[in-house]
Chain A
Amino acid sequence: DADVTQTPRNRITKTGKRIMLECSQTKGHDRMYWYRQDPGLGLQLIYYSFDVKDINKGEISDGYSVSRQAQAKFSLSLESAIPNQTALYFCATSDFRGELFFGEGSRLTVL
Chain B
Amino acid sequence: DQQVKQNSPSLSVQEGRISILNCDYTNSMFDYFLWYKKYPAEGPTFLISISSIKDKNEDGRFTVFLNKSAKHLSLHIVPSQPGDSAVYFCAASVGGGTSYGKLTFGQGTILTVHP
Binding site for B on A (CB under 8 A): 4, 31, 33, 35, 40-45, 48, 50, 58-59, 90, 92, 94, 96-105
Contacts and interface: CB of A to CB of B under 8 A. Distances in A.
B102 A48 contact: yes
Interface of B: 4, 6, 9, 32, 34, 36, 41-46, 49, 89, 91, 93, 96, 98-108
21 contacts: A4-B43, A40-B107, A42-B89, A43-B89, A43-B103, A43-B105, A45-B102, A45-B104, A90-B43, A92-B43, A96-B100, A97-B100, A98-B99, A99-B46, A99-B100, A100-B101, A100-B103, A101-B46, A102-B45, A103-B43, A104-B43
Given A42-B107, A102-B43, A102-B45, A92 B101 contact: yes
Q: Is the interface of A mostly helix, strand, loop or mixed?
A: strand
Contact of B96 (A40, A43, A98): A98
